[in-house]
Chain A
Amino acid sequence: MKRINVQRTKALLKVFAVLVPLLLNGFSIAAASTEQLPGVSRNEVAAAPAPAVDAAHGAVAAPEEEKAGDVIMHHILNNREFAFPPFGSVELPEIKLGGFDISITKHVVMLWVVSAILLVIFSIVGAKYKKMTPSQAPKGLVNAMEALVEFIRTDVAKANIGKDYEKYLTYLLTVFFFILLCNLMGLVPYGATATGNINVTLTLATFTFFLTQIAALKAHGIKGYLAHLTGGTHPALWIIMIPIEFIGLFTKPVALTIRLFANMTAGHIVILSLIFISFILKSYIVAVVMSVPFSIFIYLLELFVAFLQAFIFTMLSALFIGLASAHEGHDEHEAGVASH
């Protein structure tokens, strides 16, 4: 009992160590923007070398209302600047190869960070699993991960794909944890949401697309795959059916792309807009009554949305794979029609 308390206080201390500098930083900026400073010092605020926090941007942007939109877009979009507000910022190098801009940006770094964290977490969990005896119950981190893995395995993969689910389980688990951690990284100080970049989500959806097509080809063969494109109709209708079915192949991954991207971006825009209301109106009362409570509420909602969107992406991937490889449905239906 006493050990738990010690652990808890240690965890709390860590949280405070992160929160207190942030809060102080926020307060000093809020004070700078609300006090009626003479023009010179405001210019100094604008010209400070490290203005890159959202709040610091707010202080700079407050005088002109139009600028709030620009600041929000700067925060949402990808760029080569990595800002660590009280300490300054790191400018990432620009790399060009054959006319393509392949420079390492903020979101690319976040992708690497997420991959590294996942590698560390799952190597630890894997090593602990190997040491355990079959009758031993997992605890701590291992238990938490087991609950999530088990959930994806039974409720997502097994329920939607059916008997061959284990082949696709590795992909589904990877994509779930990757998206989940990407989403959560956007809610951490100094973090950025890599899944709020349409290129990232499109890449993830492309993996699902190819996996779906491969599953369909495996289940039906080339002939069955092409026959599916005709929708099982009379040859006279093929001129309409083939384009429709062909476009239908691509709408699913596009929907996956847009859903994840728009959800992650929208949440951040809402939080930043709520914070900016107090800067635009230049009032403590609005900040206390409206900005802070509402942005905390949306922040907590975002925590839920991060899990939900990771789950939905995985769920729909599993569903598409399951639909593509389910041959019984069609055959039984056709057989039933023929026997009538």
Chain B
Amino acid sequence: MEGLGLGYLGAGIGAGLAVIGAGLGIGNVAASAAEGVARQPEATADIRTTMIIAAALIEGVALFGEVICVLLALK
């Protein structure tokens, strides 16, 4: 039972770490995009597209981590 408890702990901590990583990444993307738009308002459309793609890719990596954690927790 103790081993199983540690497994749950691992899944929880893993999910938290994945969220920290994704939060930092998407935060950086959004900050840079806001800065870019402030400097060059005419490039808003391009910046938005690039930002969404980058954010989606970062989020994808984070979701890989989350899915692994869910699988661990449900095992």
Contact = CB atoms under 8 A, between A and B. Distances in A.
Given A155-B49, A159-B49, A259 B67 contact: no
A259 B57 CA distance: 9
Contact of A316 (B56, B64, B66, B67): B56
Given A312-B56, A316-B56, A262 B49 contact: no
A312 B49 contact: no
Interface string B50-63: 00110011011001
Interface residues of A, number: 14
Interface string A240-265: 00000000000000010011001100
Contacts of A155: 45, 49
Nearest to B49: A159
A259 B65 CA distance: 11
Contacts of B74: 73
B69 to A, nearest CB: 11
A8 to B, nearest CB: 34
B53 A255 contact: no
Nearest to B73: A69
A259 B59 contact: yes
Contacts of A263: 63
A78 to B, nearest CB: 15
Contact of A312 (B45, B52, B64, B66): B52
A262 B52 CA distance: 17
Nearest to B45: A155
A155 B56 CA distance: 17
A315 B66 contact: no
A266 B66 contact: yes
Contacts of B53: 315-316, 319
A258 B67 contact: yes
A315 B52 contact: yes
Contact of B60 (A259, A266, A311): A259
Interface in B16-75: 45, 49, 52-53, 56-57, 59-60, 63-64, 66-67, 74
A255 B49 CA distance: 19
Interface in A176-194: none
Interface in A54-99: 73
Contacts of A319: 53
A260 B63 CA distance: 10
A73 B71 CA distance: 12
User: Which of B49, B63, B67 is packed against the most chain A CB atoms within 10 Å?
Assistant: B63
Nearest to B59: A259
Contacts of A259: 56, 59-60, 63
Contact of A262 (B45, B56, B57, B67): B67
A258 B64 contact: yes
A310 B67 CA distance: 20
B33 to A, nearest CB: 16
Contacts of B67: 258, 262
5 contacts: A258-B64, A262-B66, A262-B67, A315-B49, A316-B53
